[in-house]
Structure 1
Amino acid sequence: MTARLFRRALHTRGLQRGGWYVLTALAAGVAIWCTHFIAMMGFRAGTGVTFDPLLTLTSLFICVGGSILGFVATGSSVIRWPAVTGGVLLGCSIVAMHYVGMAAFHAHGRVAWDMPHVIVSGLLGPVLAMAALHMALKRTGVGANAMAALFAAAIVCVHFVGMAAFHVVGTGETMAPGHALALKTLTMAVIGMSLIILVMGMVSYLIDDSARAETIERLRRMALSDVLTGLPNRAHFNDRLDSEIVRAEQRGSRLALIGIDLDRFKDINDLRGHSVGDEVLRVLGRRMNALVRDERGEFIARTGGDEFAAICRVGAPDDVAGFVDRIVKALSAPIRADDLDISPGGSLGVAVFPDDAADRENLVNGADLAMYRAKSNPLQRVCFYEAGMDERNRERRALAADLRDAIGRNQLTLHYQVQTIVSTGRIRGYEALLRWTHPKMGEIPPGDFIPLAEENGLIVPIGEWVLRTACREAATWEPPYTIAVNLSAVQFVIADLPEVIRTVLAETGLAPARLELELTESTIFADRERSLEMLRQIRDLGVSIALDDFGTGYSSLDTLRSFTFDRIKIDRSFFCSQAATAQTMAIIRAVLALGRSFGIPVTAEGIETYDQLSMLNAEGCQEAQGFLLGHPVTIDDIIRRGQIARVASEA
């Protein structure tokens, strides 16, 4: 038991290790003490004997205290030879306990000692204790057994070699009743101490195993549960999905996998802060946990930031529909947070095993494809997997591969759309717009390939190519109109974007005042503080910054207060024929008034009719852009029209 307790102490730290050292020392000390006095009760001195209670008790304290010092020294990381130091302390405590215990043994006769035996016993204790502790430090099963055997040998050798040195010449007196009573008292003390060892060993064993079981269970729950929502995590979900697929295969049944993605969770985090976002997730976790029906094999887990996944055994035809409907209601019900009612909503994709896929990987892929289809259609919250989705996904991956090579193969070009002063019709500048001519598919709309470039990380090199090409071209223009270039949200998160802009301006020779960068407000909300700091660094270069697509998305007044933009651009969606309502006109007037209040020029995009242009002029809008004023065309077309002439670049 001593070996077991000591090994347990070596695996702990801090105060817990100190507690285990005390338990180990008590077990060792009481074992040494009991062994000695049990042997002494069997010793026949041939004369009357008694025991000194003070020395008897002192001998117990010696072996317990020495054991504590020995075990602490052995477990120390600062002592160079821990087993040697600890062994000397432990062995000397065994020897000291033995001879103090012998001093407590009073025989009615003359006592003589054989010194060679005394010396041998005094050496055997520390040597065997050092060997025992050396084996204990190996921390193996063999080491623990060897420690126990060597420790027992140290106790036994010290006692019996020491007793071989002890001789009593009796006086012929028999044991008095008082002496017999003393022996009975000592016997009871030894029995009591033995029971202490036994009980202490059992209790420590139970406490250790109970604590270890609780720790293992707690770690298991932590490993399989999401800390924030309390739902199972991705690892737990994967294990459950594997077991459910095996069950479905064995029983010939069906299994539905449901991928779930929150629709507006990023907006919640950006506008309300991550604390509100966390609260929304906690509430959704409680709701989803409450709607699960175990008897139907339903299971929901949180698999990512705003992503969840669910499993449902398919028995009756309406099993999946009912489960999905309960999930949709849980996602759509308002959540009260930060004194606001928030309805996050979600997009769900469903794939069924084995109808849609014969293994886990394809089943998960099918559910993801269906979920992304639902997410792309605001009117469709739930989408079931269809075989054609795989083909469309393969086409999308192939298009991404072609886009990766588009720059090197000169398939990307820039078109330029004119920006005009409303009151005079004078050209203010041009906006550079990216175009892709695919060798087989022809013109690919920007609305198709720009999101694809952002998803695959291609927007970074493409965006830099656009910036460098537009600046190089604009540097040759006469008159020196401004050139506007759009920045993607993905491109904007690059830490060295100001340095990229500085390098491009230096390489192309374009004056910084002629470059205007356009970005949407959602770009800033991704990391507000860092984004505003980056805008200030870009502004310090002398480059203008325009807030694009204003009126959609966030349109936060705090953004205009936090950073003075050089231009606000009203989104084209406000000027289409379907949007020509009294409410739309009120919004346009409000944005124009806002620009005047902040002293920021406003540009209206998407102008296609003279009525729209007249309205803007009447309302005091400074600038406009749209098909009425000019379609996006190549620079060669602009030169042929005489709007721009080329001169030698200053670079």
Structure 2
Amino acid sequence: MLKVLTCLTTEHDLRLVVVAGLICFAACFTAFRLYSRMRGARGVVRAAWLLLTGLVSGSGVWATHFIAMVAYSPGLKTGYSPAGTLLSLMIAVLFMAGGFAVASAQRSRTNDLAGGLILGVGVAAMHYTGMSAFVTQGFVQWEQATIAASVLAGVVGAAGALQLAGRARSLLRQLGGGLLLTLGICALHFIGMGAITIVPDPSIDVPDQMLSGAVLTLAVSSITGMIILGGLGAVAIESSTSRSALDRIRRLANAAYEGIVVVQDGRINDANAAFCQLVGLELDALLRAPLSGLLTLDTTASIREGERREGVLQPADGGRAIPVEVFSRLMDDGARRETSGLTVLAVRDLRERRSAEEKIRYLAEHDGLTGLPNRNSLQTRLAAALDRVEASGESLSLICIDLDHFKEANDLHGHLAGDALLVEAARRLQDSLTAPSFAARLGGDEFIVVQVAAGDQPAAAAELAGRLLEALSAPAVHEGRDLAMGASLGVSLFPHDGRTAEALLANADMALYRAKEGGRGAYRFFKREMDETIRERRTLARELRQAIIDEALVVHYQPLARAADGEVCGFEALVRWNHPTRGMVPPLEFIPVAEENGLIAQLGEWVLRRACADAASWERPLRIAVNLSPLQLNQPNLPILVHEVLVQTGLSPKRLELEVTESALFKDYQRALDNLRRLKALGVRIAMDDFGTGFSSLSTLQSFPFDKIKIDKSFVENIHRHDRATVIVRAVLGLGRSLDIPCVAEGVETQEQIDFLRGEDCAELQGYAIGRPAAVDTLSAWTLASKAAASPPSVVADEKARKRKRA
């Protein structure tokens, strides 16, 4: 060792030694930079990087050797054989390329040791081949042990450099590997130089064509410098290109809505901003972290190429796990080894989709307005409840609920008011129940309550029905206004009224129908004897609806005559239904059915249009009277409808007379009066029908100036039969004269009644004594102008004819 140090310090120009060391380090550092690119490449690209690595490292080692040899001064004339010098360069390049090739074939300690051995042997081969090209005036003697030590130092340095550098991905590892390899090469060279002893011999001649030290130094330094700069330039260009491509890819990835993470060997290699945001960590904290600590898939099987899997992503802050969908793609371009096994995962946040799916699932099972189970959910829950009571021995009742004032609130105050009633009813029903009993909404204003109880079910059902009636009886408040509430309930019991959901629902509906028929605001239990009657009325309602659509109804007209002379002055329109199988259905049967089933408005509009159209076709300008149902009178668009009908049919407004009952006014008194005033403004006449049967007749007459009062036939038919009836008719006629309102007597059937009414100055008469309701094509005796002069059959003649018919 002492001999090596003495040789280095006394026989070498230390300035050139430093130059040689710097060149060696530059070459080794550049070699490891190239080595990092070569490790990740394949095919032709790998061969190109390998060639450049071998050329840079080999020329660097060769330059180090010969510059250090130039620095060596034994005190004798020296020179270098060109052939040996070039041969040593070739050896250096080949062995350096071979060593790096073996080390990069597979990342393992064995490959690093094998590569280090080849590199060390190659440096030694280059060194001693180069020494063979050294010519001086003397004999060179070698110490074998020192030569072995030099070779060992080179091998150890090269193997250690490969181990330290590893994949050489970072600049620090490249610097460390380059420095350690430089130390190994320098150690091999200078230990090898310490192994020689030169015995001077003046007889040995150094030829003049030998390369001088100055020329060799200049040539070697220039060539090696250019090679090293070329290698560094290639690395710089490749790095710049890679960085630019990576920046573009990263910008695109960060613009993606989905999280993107690059994984290699189960660890995170890279990720975009969306993924970092999902897990709540910066990219630096994610790099090299195991993906399994963040992402858990639905199965333990590894993700295959192109496969979609679902799982959960656990944020770093320990928050609620995020459901995700993962799509995988292998990232292997076939040219870079570093992309081998690299997998790109697209991670899609499923929270919004799951929330939407949950909302859809909820809406599929619940009513969107009230939040109660809907019809579909009711079937499922009711079936489960029936299974439960079958197994447990508990009892079950089913209550069908219909809100009494829903249509009124909806028609008079708008749909928002109707919705408010439904929401409030649902809340009150839920507050009245305890699990496992539940409420559901079938649609419209119809609700279902299913009660599961342990005790006697009829008693429990009656108690619950009473509580529900009480809960639903209090008014609801909407926009500072009280809305009337109420309900009718129908109850069916399991198993007495049915063992299936369908039977219980149908029978509870039957009971509800009976509750509404009895005056509403009550509950009724199902009774089998009412089943057929209700079914019959429902069939009639269905057929009536179709008859209205098909215009299978007809309008008959009953004449009204002036009491003074018996001349017909108008007609009242009365709807008739000639059923194809039932025959003539009386209005007293189908009008209530129309009211119960929401058909009365449609029916009333059809009668209004038909009557106005028929009256417009008469030659004589006779009046036509049409009855308005309570629902029609309280519709906001009634005046618009009447105006439209008058325009379309061409009927003069003064010829149309609309008859309303007192009960119709009190559904919504103010709205009814507003509609009547708007109708009067159109020129239409308004008559109060069935006067005397209401409860506020006088106040009504005071509030609105009616054009006519019709005395109900229940009083007229009892004239001279009951003194009180006679007095009432006389009083009403007197009231009409005092208020200057003409009166019409309905139900006139006898000459005695006609004489009395004429004597009391009654304005008009209507009844069988004047004429029966008849089809429009039978009215020509009264409606044609050519027959106007001809008097119609007299009242007395009609009376005699009627007596003869009775006889």
**TM tier, smaller:** 0.5 to 0.7
Q: Is the 8 A contact 2:398 2:450 kept in 1?
A: yes
AA at the equivalent of 1:45: G
Cα distance in 1 between the residues matched to 2:612 and 2:675: 28
Which runs of structure 2 are paired with 1:559-638 in the superposition (5 Å)? 559-564=675-680, 566-572=684-690, 574-576=691-693, 584=695, 587-596=696-705, 600-604=706-710, 606-607=712-713, 608-609=715-716, 610=719, 611=726, 612-620=728-736, 621-628=741-748, 629-631=766-768, 633-635=772-774
* One-letter amino acid matched to 1:591: T
Is 1:303 aligned to 2:414, yes or no?
no
- Is there any run of 5+ residues in structure 1 with no aligned partner, and where? 1-34, 50-109, 157-188, 486-517
Counterpart Cα distance in 1 of 2:657 and 2:615: 21
* CA distance 1:392–1:127, change in 2 (3 Å): farther
Matches of 1:211 and 1:152, distance apart in 2: 25
Shift of 1:427: 4.0
Q: Distance in 1 between matches of 2:481 and 2:545?
A: 44
Q: Give CA-to-partner distance per residue, 1:18-54, whole Å, 9 cap, x none.
A: xxxxxxxxxxxxxxxxx999755655423189xxxxx
Structure 1 residue 567: deviation in Å?
2.4
Counterpart secondary structure, 2:628: strand
| Cα distance in 1, alignment partners of residues 507 and 255 from structure 2 | 55
Q: Distance in 1 between matches of 2:565 and 2:506?
A: 56
The one-letter amino acid paired with 1:549 is V
- Equivalent residue for 1:644, pick from 774, 778, 782: 782
TM-score (norm 1): 0.57
Pick aligned residue for 2:642 from 516, 535, 538: 535
Residue of structure 1 equivalent to 2:631? 522
Specify the code of the residue in structure 2 equivalent to 1:533: I
Scaled by the length of structure 2, the TM-score of the pair is 0.48
Q: Deviations over 1:268-306 (max 9, x none)?
A: 344455555444444433332222121xx2112333342
Q: Taking every aligned residue pair, what percent have the same amino acid on both sides?
A: 27
Q: Deviations over 1:589-640 (max 9, x none)?
A: 33334443xxx51232524425354333311231425102313724489979
| Consecutive unaligned residues in structure 2, runs of 5 or more | 1-165, 182-227, 272-282, 296-312, 324-349, 720-725, 749-765, 788-807
* Distance in structure 1 (CA, Å) of the matches to 2:746 and 2:396: 52
The Cα shift of 1:243 comes to 2.0
Task: Check conservation: 2:658, 2:687, Cα contact below 8 A.
Answer: yes
Give SS of 2:425's match.
Answer: helix
Pick which of 423-432 and 349-358 moved more. 423-432
Q: Counterpart amino acid of 2:767?
A: G
Distance 1:367 1:543, change over 3 A: farther
Q: 2:669, 2:384 → 1: CA distance?
A: 48
**Which residue does the alignment assign to 1:284?**
425
The answer to whether the 8 A contact 1:128-1:153 is kept is no
Alpha-carbon distance, 1:386 to partner: 2.8
Equivalent in the alignment of 2:71? none
Residue type of the partner of 2:528? A
8 Å Cα contact 1:415/1:433 also seen in 2: yes
Report the equivalent of 1:63. none
Work out which of the residue numbers 516, 522, 544 in structure 2 matches 1:375.
516
- Tell me by how many angstroms 1:367 deviates: 2.0
Q: Which moved more, 1:601-610 or 1:259-268?
A: 601-610
Question: What is the distance in 1 between the residues matched to 2:401 and 2:767?
Answer: 44
What is the alpha-carbon root mean square deviation over aligned residues?
5.3
Of the three residues 479, 483, 486, the one matched with 1:345 is: 486
Deviation of 1:349 after TM superposition, in Å, equals 1.3
Structure 1 letter corresponding to 2:708: V
User: Quick one: distance in 1 between partners of 2:548 and 2:475?
Assistant: 47
Report how far residue 525 of structure 1 moved: 3.6
Q: How does 1:206-355 map to 2 (within 5 A)?
A: 206=320, 208-209=322-323, 224-226=365-367, 228-251=369-392, 253-294=394-435, 297-317=436-456, 318-335=459-476, 342-355=483-496
**What does residue range 173-212 of structure 1 map to in structure 2 within 5 Å?**
202-203=314-315, 206=320, 208-209=322-323
- Structure ID, larger Rg: 2
* Deviation at residue 262 of structure 1 after TM alignment: 0.8
8 Å contact kept, 1:128–1:154: no
Could you tell me how far apart the structure 2 residues matched to 1:358 and 1:232 are?
A: 22
Q: Deviations over 1:416-452 (max 9, x none)?
A: 3333557887643111212234566454221322454
Aligned CA distance change for structure 1 residues 40 and 457 (closer, same or farther; 3 Å): farther
* Cα contact 1:400–1:452 (8 A) shared by 2: yes
Q: Distance in 1 between matches of 2:248 and 2:608?
A: 76
Q: 2:179 aligns with which of 47, 54, 63?
A: 47
Alignment partners' CA distance in 1, 2:266 and 2:785: 97
Residues 449-468 of structure 1 mapped to structure 2, 5 A cutoff: 449-452=590-593, 455=597, 464=606, 467-468=609-610
Once the two structures are TM-superposed, the CA of residue 535 in structure 1 deviates from its matched residue by 3.3
Deviates further, 409-418 or 430-439: 409-418
| AA aligned opposite 1:522 | L
Structure 1: distance between partners of 2:583 and 2:465:
41
What amino acid sits opposite 1:46 in the alignment? G
1:546-575, CA deviations, whole angstroms, 9 ceiling, x for partnerless residues?
443242133333333444262223232x43
Q: What is the aligned partner in structure 1 of residue 674 from structure 2?
A: 558
Residues 592 and 602, structure 1, Cα contact 8 Å, conserved in 2 = no
Change (3 A) 1:525 1:405: closer
- Structure 1 residues 362 and 442: CA distance shift in structure 2, 3 A: same
Q: 2:746 is paired with a residue of what secondary structure?
A: coil
Relative to structure 1, the CA distance from residue 192 to residue 262 in structure 2 (aligned partners, 3 Å threshold; closer, same or farther) is: closer
CA distance in 2, matches of 1:282, 1:119: 72
Query: Residue 347 of structure 1 aligns to a residue in which SS?
Result: strand
Provide the secondary structure at the position in 1 that maps to 2:558.
Answer: strand
Instruction: Kindly indicate whether structure 1 or structure 2 has the higher relative contact order, using CA contacts under 8 Å at least 6 residues apart.
Output: 1
For the residue of structure 2 that corresponds to 1:332, the secondary structure is: coil
Q: Tell me by how many angstroms 1:227 deviates.
A: 5.6
Q: Deviations over 1:457-498 (max 9, x none)?
A: 698699758854784488456x5422234xxxxxxxxxxxxx
Q: What is residue 231 of structure 2 aligned with on the other side?
A: 113
For 1:554, the aligned partner's letter is: D
Question: Retained in 2: the 8 A contact 1:259–1:309?
Answer: yes
Q: SS of 1:203's equivalent?
A: coil
Would the aligned equivalents of 2:266 and 2:290 in 1 still touch at CA under 8 Å?
no
Measure, in 1, the Cα distance between the counterparts of 2:378 and 2:469. 20
